[in-house]
Structure 1
Amino acid sequence: MTNTETPPHRRPRPPSRQPLTPVNSVSSLTPHLFAPDAVRPLRAKEHFLKADTLVELHTHPWPQLTFSTRGVIRLSTEDGSYIVPPSRALWVPANMPHSITLIEDAELRTVYVHAWMAPAWEKCEVLEISPLLRALMLALDTTADGQGPVDSHAAQRERWIAPLLIDEVERATQIRIDVPLPSDKRLRQLCEAVLRAPDNRATLAERAQEIGASERTVARLFRNQMGMSWQQWRQQAVLAHALPLLARGMPVSQVAAASGYATDSAFCAMFKAATGQSPTSFQHKRKSATAAT
């Protein structure tokens, strides 16, 4: 089978380009110092992290909400990868291994939830953050156990906030765009390379060669493990990367270049075919929605 994806807008691939990897790796950011319990059913923490930082794979026995007050992050699990801009939060179920990559400098915030009061969601959910949900999350004390003075009213406030926050989480609009990841090690390596550098529009044949497989084999793995073609998966990855940039007001020309398109028109055609609207229309709707709130 020959790959038919050789778009005229594909950028020439730099011959010496190396895969991008996070320049700084940190451990799990001490979740054990913020364990929720019956007295404190919600626990919040915050960390300021630089772009290209990797928070290593970890897990804990309670669910969490992850978001950033500024900067875009990418949270990865065994099954998928989720782009999380400041307008969204990601629900991660208890006991689910996950890692976080900082796409930009970001103020990373996490809210841990006592398992008894959490929604019975078995997979990650990307949620639109309402003004009320944002205010509730930001109102929580972020002092770690045994580190510094704690607001004397923190536990009581957490118990008051908890039922309203959970109700707001369950009411939140769920965003269905995520990027599934395969179990096959070679195919996952290929997919991770795309997510690290979405502007690199190497063909499937070129990428297959990098992981030591044939184009035919990789195309078959995409169909069997992902239930979609390479072209469909890559479009999903590009959209997941582009939507947060557009939502933040980045010019379409810059988003197109960051997504690997040499021309705005080619990017706009892909975006409209996938979403039913143009990138500028999407931005205008986002601005109108923000103004309304």
Structure 2
Amino acid sequence: MPIARQSRIWPSGGVHLWPSGGASAAHTHPRGHLVYAASGVLAVHTERGTSIVPANRVAWIPAGSTHHHRAHGDTDMRIVFLPAGLARRMPERPTVFATSDLAREVLLALTGGRHRDRAARARLHRVLADELREAREQPLHLPEPRDDRLRAVARILDADPADNASLAALGQAAGAGARTLSRLFRAELGMTFYEWRTQLRIAHALVLLAEGHDTTRVAHACGWSNPSHFIAAFAAIVGTTPGRHRAGG
């Protein structure tokens, strides 16, 4: 049975329980904050593009950055606002980090509902900021294309991530040659077309897994005819296998 939408907010953070498909309107906060999905999967949309944030990732949203979220699968979303002094040590742009076991436990402790005095919260905030300073940025990020030709390619593959059309074939629909599109992917999005398409497919896979689909079905829906190849690509990007991800491991 789907969870009911619920929210609990306090000055230092909050918890949002969202049913699958729940979304927020675009908004900003005057303070930088961390967004974490204790269960489910979040899509975090910012001016830089879209990041898919499963339970082994945490998103950083700087103060004043316009963003909105969408839940895939019933999602337990946690928010932690960082004090200004610690926020200044974080990136100036929206960023998604890999989450260590310690960072996860601190995020849960800060948002678990137990009353903590100011000194205890300050200690936990410092531990969390230190952990994230040492964390690597996660690679699962889909930059927002600006060029109309790249946008056309993105629309085609977002609608059907299993589409195995070549870049030349996609270029015919987008009004550009393969060489031009290849150059645009590198110059504008910082990756090759094939790297970008793999990122897009894994993003879709995370959403489908959160909605309860099995690994074989997700592999085929996202363009892999061989599920073992999908599992290898998923593990290389997400850091765990699809089965362990679904199990919360």
| TM-score above 0.5, yes or no | yes
How far 1:204 moved relative to its partner? 5.5
Q: Which structure 2 residues correspond to residues 191-206 of structure 1 after superposition, within 5 A?
A: 191=154, 194-195=157-158, 198-199=161-162, 201=164
Instruction: Give the counterpart of 1:214 among 156, 165, 175.
Output: 175
Q: Do the aligned partners of 2:29 and 2:64 also contact (CA within 8 Å) in 1?
A: yes
Q: What's the Cα RMSD here?
A: 4.3
Structure 1 counterpart of 2:241, one-letter code: Q
Q: Do the aligned partners of 1:204 and 1:215 also contact (CA within 8 Å) in 2?
A: no
How far 1:84 moved relative to its partner? 0.7
Distance 2:123 2:187 in 1: 48
* Secondary structure in structure 2 of the residue aligned to 1:105: strand
Distance 2:159 2:217 in 1: 17
Unaligned runs of 5+ in 1: 1-25, 36-42, 144-149
Distance 1:106 1:189 in 2: 31
Q: Do the aligned partners of 1:84 and 1:244 also contact (CA within 8 Å) in 2?
A: no
Where does residue 142 of structure 2 map in the other structure? 179
Q: Which structure 2 residues correspond to residues 51-66 of structure 1 after superposition, within 5 A?
A: 51-66=20-35
Q: Which structure 2 residues correspond to residues 131-142 of structure 1 after superposition, within 5 A?
A: 131-140=101-110
Q: Do the aligned partners of 1:45 and 1:142 also contact (CA within 8 Å) in 2?
A: no
Distance 2:200 2:162 in 1: 11
Instruction: Give the counterpart of 2:53 among 84, 88, 112.
Output: 84
* Secondary structure in structure 1 of the residue aligned to 2:93: coil
Instruction: Give the counterpart of 1:237 among 200, 218, 232.
Output: 200
Where does residue 94 of structure 2 map in the other structure? 124
Where does residue 241 of structure 2 map in the other structure? 283
Q: Do the aligned partners of 2:149 and 2:175 also contact (CA within 8 Å) in 1?
A: no
Q: Deviations over 1:229-284 (max 9, x none)?
A: 4333212222344479889x986423312313344366468x39x95x9x9x9539
Q: Sort the Cα spacing of 1:243 and 1:30 in 2 relative to 1 into closer, same or farther, 3 A.
A: closer
Q: Which has the higher contact order (CA 8 A, sep 6+)?
A: 1
Q: Sort the Cα spacing of 1:268 and 1:102 in 2 relative to 1 into closer, same or farther, 3 A.
A: closer
Instruction: Give the counterpart of 2:66 among 94, 97, 102.
Output: 97
Structure 2 counterpart of 1:183, one-letter code: R
Where does residue 161 of structure 1 map in the other structure? 124
* Secondary structure in structure 2 of the residue aligned to 1:65: strand
Q: Do the aligned partners of 1:81 and 1:178 also contact (CA within 8 Å) in 2?
A: yes
Q: TM-score normalized by structure 2?
A: 0.72
How far 1:189 moved relative to its partner? 6.3
Q: Do the aligned partners of 1:78 and 1:183 also contact (CA within 8 Å) in 2?
A: no
Unaligned runs of 5+ in 2: none
Where does residue 113 of structure 1 map in the other structure? 82
Q: TM-score normalized by structure 1?
A: 0.63
